[in-house]
Structure 1
Amino acid sequence: MDKLYSFLENKTVNYLTHKKALKAYEKSKKKTILTEIWSWLDALIFAVVVVIILNQFLFQLFLIPSPSMVSTLNIGDRVIVSKVSYGIEAYPTGPKLFSDSRRVQRDDIITFYNPEYDSKGPFFDILSQIIYYSTLSLVNIDRNEDGSIAERLYVKRAVGFGGDNVKFKDGNVLIKPAGYNNYITEESYREANELSNGPHRSVDSTLYDGMHAWGRLYALQENSINVVPQHLKNSYESVKDQYMFDRYEFENNRTLMNTLINPTDMNARSEHGHYRAGIYVPENYVLPLGDNRDNSSDGRYFGPVKESTINGKVVGRFWPLGSVGIVK
């Protein structure tokens, strides 16, 4: 690592020394509009190249685009991501150097490549990243059809590790760490291991009966069944006007009802099996979850991610000014 820093430092010093000599020479020449424009353009190109190199190999400025980490990180927060915490990425999505001894630690807030990102082509991907890096995260042209920012990178908390089993029930996380015989609540595990208290549930626990009913009623509708149990209708009344709901629990009950409607439907049984069995985390994988458990597209839906796809660690927040500091 020291050799890399020394190399970059020497190259920068040599370049600047050369620039200084050229500037002295230019002063002795008669300046024209074209030489002035070229001088400014040359300086701008150099600045952009330096910024891109710094963003790729050392640190990156990142804008939080979604509510998945509220209130640890809010929409619009700008954070500093260390690009050397887990090894140095040779190029975007490429292999990492010096990564053998730099492993992700439980509870780190990580950035990783979105497994569900819809690429718009290599040219656009490269161009959008150059613009994003060179403007210090101020300009992002990578947008979805609705105009929202396309999340090429996700920011989540590293929760599950190799050998862990993780289940989700009514907004709560149950963990069976590697070597344990039983599941324990995430809250008790965090307290016992002095981990962050950032992860939380926003949906009131009394609303979960209504969400169970909502998912089951949706399955009945999908199967064109019009005879609906009255108790499901009554439970649904408590949530039908609610803005927030637990999508995972909704899908859990929707798929469960599909298996009850037709127990011989193997596709339905397989779909529900994902929710019933929970998630096993293989070795060299990490299960990332958002701190805002009720409103986060995370590992519950796309599963564990390879450590090789994790390209940085959030180490601090620099905007807004009132929230500047270390992020944990």
Structure 2
Amino acid sequence: MDLFEKKGICPMLIGDNQEAFDSKDYIYELKLDGHRCIVYIDETSTDIRNKRDIKMVEKFPELANIHKQIKSKCILDGELIIIKNGKPDFSEIQKRSLMTNPFRIKLASSKLPASFTAFDILYYKDHSVTDLPLMQRKNLLEKVIKENARVAISRYIEEHGIQFYQLAKQNELEGIVGKRKDSKYYFDKITKDWTKIKYLLDDDFVVCGYILKGGGAISIVLGQYSKKELVYKGHVTLGISTEDFQIIKSIPKISSQLFNKLPTGNDNAVWIKPILVCIVKYMTKTANGSLRQPVFKGLRVDKDPKDCIVK
């Protein structure tokens, strides 16, 4: 079946974080703090899907007509973002993704409209272009997209990754991505051809339970998978009055904990079905993998818990 008609694309994944570097063989782009999405566009429709292949246009109706800005039938890879105070704001994109009330969605879309920034093209007119080198795909993007406030093309620089990273750091942006100029696109594959160079470290964790701490706070119990086994990864604090905790609290409880090895200090935990994923920011990791100064960033609906892997 034709790639466009089949849908269900799993995007290529960025390799592990590393130090900033310079290379004539690479381009460098800003790492935008939003939701990665694949967008299927033809003459009459826009179909935006997150990494779990969930349709997103109902949550972001302001993007329903971006096909009018596209000159040819195509499939785009990029980031769904909301700009707040001059920067991409993950909490705003996360809140919108969790909304179900059409009136609240319409109000949010008029107050803080989302946009889509395309950084790759996977299909052009009637055929896949994933075997083309990255720079040829970038040239196609320039031909296909007519930019406006709702759809844009990711800008990049060549060679000077260290300087570009320092600029991102000075502006307290998430970081940059380095990509080999000759890299092809491989579906659902982690590749070293694309590498994260992050200023603000974060990771994805399974929400396994919570502990009431008093004083209007709870402690979320975190886990990640090693093969098929959930591994305990510590705690992160969250306010009890937040919308995120209301969602966590609504998940069905289970009678026993989820880990084979559970450290002390979790005796009073409420265990829940491991179906939610959250992002946690942190300064660094200890030798045993614990997080230093963890900060709860938000729930995310675009990632399967099984994809939260111990690194």
Provide the TM-score with structure 1 as the length reference: 0.21
Considering Cα pairs closer than 8 Å and 6+ residues apart, tell me whether 1 or 2 has the greater RCO: 1
Larger Cα-atom Rg: 1
**Greater share of strand residues, 1 or 2?**
2
Provide the TM-score with structure 2 as the length reference: 0.22
